[in-house]
A and B are shown apart, each in its own frame.
Chain A
Amino acid sequence: MALIELKTVSKIYTLGSQEVIAVKDFSLQLEKGEFCVLAGPSGSGKTTLLNLIGCLDQPSAGEVWLEGRNVATVPAKELAAIRLNKIGFIFQSYNLIPVLTAAENAEFTLMLQGMDKKVRREKVRRWFVDLGLEGLEERKPSDLSGGQQQRVAIARAMASDPAVILADEPTANLDSQTSEELLAVMQRLNEERGATFVFSSHDPLVIAHGKRVVRLVDGHLESDQCVS
């Protein structure tokens, strides 16, 4: 059983009388422990696809299966719980809640899960050590660099032990040096801890880090290669 399976998924947006086909008949299987990049130019449907995988959006046609469950059959209320427990999210920017400190942001999903304050404090502290964020616990997001903010977002995503972490252009707002560092962190988490990552990018340097590269053009699957 695949961790995630997209079965001829389409997503069509209607803008007035115009139909925009963002994703067309897309099929994909993702296994546990993958480090997969969705590559494609702007407008090729990367965000749309990640939103479908992350249960943030419903497909217009086709099915999304998560751990053997058809997401379409999951009641709307339970979707939030699935996102909370199964999926970690990292977005391009403004990932964090500005009024909360870095540590509180990283604890946010654990808080939603109802974890005891002390336990999650400790858990996040260890993630901060692991991700090189030590000493930044009490900083507000606005007082962190872009790379630090993204690492806090990784801490938040990793802390709740999700089945998969979805990252939509996590490095788009970072310089190349910081991007490399962030990717190295993700790669290490994938190798050391077996964390499953699916991230998108249009940057060849970033795409080069993917162990599996899924290329998108105009919402179609163009190629799906495993890089060894």
Chain B
Amino acid sequence: MDLLNLAWKNLWRNRRRTLITLSALCFSLMLIQGSHNLSHGVYSSMIDSGVRAGSGHLVVYQQDYLATRDEKLSFAPRDLSAEIGRIAGVQSVLPRIYLPGLAQSSRESRGILLTGVDPVVEKAVNPFLKRLPADEWLSSDDGREAILGSLLLKELKLKLGNKFVVTMQHRSGELVSEMFRVHGVVQTGIKGIDKTLLMVGRERAAALVGMDGEIHELALMLTDQTADNSVRPQLNALLQGRSDIRGYSWEEAMPNLYNAIRLDYASSNFIFIIMLLIVTIGVINTLLMSVMERFREFGVILAVGASAMRLRLLIIIEALLLGLVSMVFGTLLGSLLTWYLVAKGIDMRNFVSESLEFGGVVFDPIMRAAWDPLWMVKISFYLLLLALLAAIYPSIKAGKISPAAAMRHY
């Protein structure tokens, strides 16, 4: 305890130097925590819109569907939707059909991906459909109403209410055609989707190709992302009796998004490591200088009977205090920054005009942070650890002081 007292006092004997070192530590911790929380927030919302527009938090496919996207690999959900819907943590269950085909207007034709959905559940979940006026949305499972991607509409030179024909391959091998009417338009901001999206009622789509009662995808929306852990095993249990289908997490189902996020985390972690290394070198410098300045004093301390171990401990405690103070104040500053970034966010529209696409997902132009308290605590402990590591060399140096020489030369 007395060593602690001495260490604390020593820390403040060169007030300015200590403050400079402390602010370097605090500010880097603040920046690291703030920018991590910002990415965390952006990615969380990206994952959220990604899973909402895409295949959900968890998804059920026919065994080989994910690898081949072959429209023949469908499955009959039977009462699976209802059973899954009863699992706690599952918000909604969305059966979907995906069929490649050709859309023809009187003037143009384009390749499309016909998506058959259950209008009621789909509308509640998909963020792109939220902006669609209610009267433009599909009114039934088996009607002739169709929602088109904005670019597709333009390329087919169609307008709301126009009719067009969709041709695709029936299960039997024949080509079949069906007439639809443009009922609504969606713009996701992702070219690939806006150019090919054609959304119709699921039953109509199934009937068209002769796969009544079957679907390609059963997407699960959870109440929140963390419910994954509890829902996954229950889902697997439900699927146990059925060898034809399998459950996947969003990471498996949307590897593009997942990998893009992982890559970005990895590169920001790399920057964090470099930042921490630089401040660690600063800490080493401060501690070493303070040791060098006190050679004579350390000589006296050793002469009157302190062991080299105690002296080393003193230096380490000084570093520990430096680390603790910056851990606390840095986290405080990091929390302030995060709080600002949560409340206000950064409006990217000031910097880029186009909509922002990342890993196949469009994200909100206002980047908002989200709290990741566990990570903040973890990184602040890393900082403490680094401060302690920085003390190793200076403390060894102090422990090697020979009192006789120290008092003669300093």
A-side residues, CB < 8 A to B, are 47, 51, 54, 56-57, 77, 80-81, 83-85, 87-89, 91, 94-100, 108-109, 111-113, 117, 156-157, 160
Q: Is B302 an interface residue (CB 8 A)?
A: yes
Sort A-B residue pairs by CB-CB distance and give the 9 closest, nearest first.
A84-B305, A99-B9, A80-B307, A83-B305, A56-B404, A57-B404, A51-B404, A111-B2, A56-B403
Given contacts A80-B307, A91-B407, A111-B2, contact A97 B302 (CB under 8 A): no
Choose from A51, A80, A96, A100 the contact partner of B305 (Cβ within 8 Å): A80
Q: Which of A98, A99, A156 contacts B304 (CB 8 A)?
A: A156
With beta carbons under 8 angstroms apart, the residue of B10, B296, B304, B402 that contacts A84 is B304
The 13 listed contacts between A and B (C-beta, < 8 Å) are A80-B305, A80-B307, A83-B303, A84-B305, A88-B304, A96-B300, A98-B297, A99-B12, A100-B6, A109-B305, A111-B2, A112-B304, A112-B310
Tell me what chain B mostly uses at the interface: helix, strand, loop, or mixed.
helix
- The residue in chain B whose Cβ has the minimal distance to the Cβ of A99 is B9
CA distance A112 to B313 in the complex (A): 13
Complex CA distance for A95 and B296, rounded to whole angstroms: 9
Q: Are B305 and A91 in contact (CB under 8 A)?
A: no
Select A77's contact among B296, B307, B404, beta carbons within 8 Å.
B307
B303, B307, B308, B408 — most chain A CB neighbours (10 Å): B303
- B1-60: which have CB < 8 Å to A? 2, 6, 9-10, 12-13
Determine whether the beta carbon of B303 is less than 8 Å from that of A54: yes
Given A83-B303, A109-B304, check contact A99 B296 (CB 8 Å): no
CA distance A113 to B310 in the complex (A): 12
- Rounded to whole Å, the gap between the CB of A55 and the closest CB of chain B is 9
Q: How far is the CB of A134 from chain B (nearest CB, A)?
A: 23
Chain A residues lying within 8 Å of B10, measured Cβ to Cβ, are 99
Of chain B, the residue at the smallest CB distance from A82 is B305
B residues 299-318 near A (Cβ < 8 Å) are 300-308, 310
Q: How far is the CB of A69 from chain B (nearest CB, A)?
A: 17
**Nearest-CB residue, chain A, relative to B306:** A112
Cα distance A87–B306 in the bound complex, in angstroms: 12
Evaluate whether A99 and B408 lie within 8 angstroms (CB atoms) in the complex, with A80-B305, A89-B303, A94-B300 already known. no
* A57, B307: Cα distance in complex, Å: 15
| A77 to B, closest residue via Cβ | B307
Determine if B13 and A89 form an interchain contact, defined as CB atoms under 8 angstroms apart.
no
Residues from chain B with Cβ under 8 Å of A51 in the complex: 404
**A81 touching B305, Cβ below 8 Å:** yes
Q: Would you call A80 and B6 a contact (CB within 8 A)?
A: no
Minimum CB distance partner of B408 in chain A: A47
Structural contact, A85 and B305, CB atoms closer than 8 A: yes
Q: A148 to B384, alpha carbons, bound, how many Å?
A: 41
Q: Are A100 and B9 in contact (CB under 8 A)?
A: yes
Q: How far is the CA of A83 from the CA of B2 in the complex (A)?
A: 20
Q: Which residues of A contact B13 (CB under 8 A)?
A: 98-99
Task: State whether A97 and B305 are in contact (beta carbons under 8 Å apart), knowing that A51-B404, A56-B403, A57-B404 are contacts in the complex.
Answer: no
CA distance A159 to B272 in the complex (A): 51
| Most chain A CB within a 10 A radius of its CB, from B12, B13, B297 | B297
Bound complex: CA of A113 vs CA of B307, how far in Å?
11
Say how far A110's CB is from chain B's closest CB, in angstroms: 10
Q: How far is the CA of A81 from the CA of B306 in the complex (A)?
A: 8
* Nearest CB on B from A152, distance (A): 12
Establish whether residues B305 and A112, one from each chain, have CB atoms under 8 Å apart when the complex forms. yes
Q: Are A108 and B408 in contact (CB under 8 A)?
A: no
A89 lies within 8 A of B9 (CB): no
Q: Which residues of A contact B12 (CB under 8 A)?
A: 99
A89–B404 alpha-carbon span in the complex (Å)? 12
Q: Which residues of B contact A96 (CB under 8 A)?
A: 300
What are the residues of chain B within 8 A of A160 when measuring CB–CB? Answer: 305
